């Protein structure tokens, strides 16, 4: 398990928006990275400006 960052949201909060993200996905190969982790990474980039 990775360490948490201040930009992360709770999994319960993520479950509210998961259906929106899943519906936008084209059906391709199975994911190799969990969608929650990708979303938190995007939030980290937005917050830090890296």
- 22: enclosing H helix or E strand: helix 11-23
H or E element: which one contains 38? helix 35-48
Phi, psi of 12 (to 5 degrees): -65, -40
Task: Give yes or no for a contact between 8 and 40, defined as CB atoms under 8 angstroms apart.
Answer: yes
User: What is the residue extent of each domain of the chain?
Assistant: 11-48
Residues near 44 by Cβ (< 8 Å), separated by ≥ 6? Answer: 5, 7, 8, 50
For residue 45, name the pLDDT band (cuts at 50, 70, 90): very high
Digit-coded pLDDT (tens) for 3-40: 888 999 999 999 999 999 988 877 788 889 999 999 99
């Amino acid at each position: 398990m990775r360490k948490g960052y201040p930009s992360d949201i709770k999994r319960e909060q993520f479950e509210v928006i998961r259906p929106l993200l899943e519906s936008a996905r084209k059906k391709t190969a199975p994911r190799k990275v969990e969608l929650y982790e990708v979303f938190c990474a995007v939030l980290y980039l937005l917050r830090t400006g890296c």
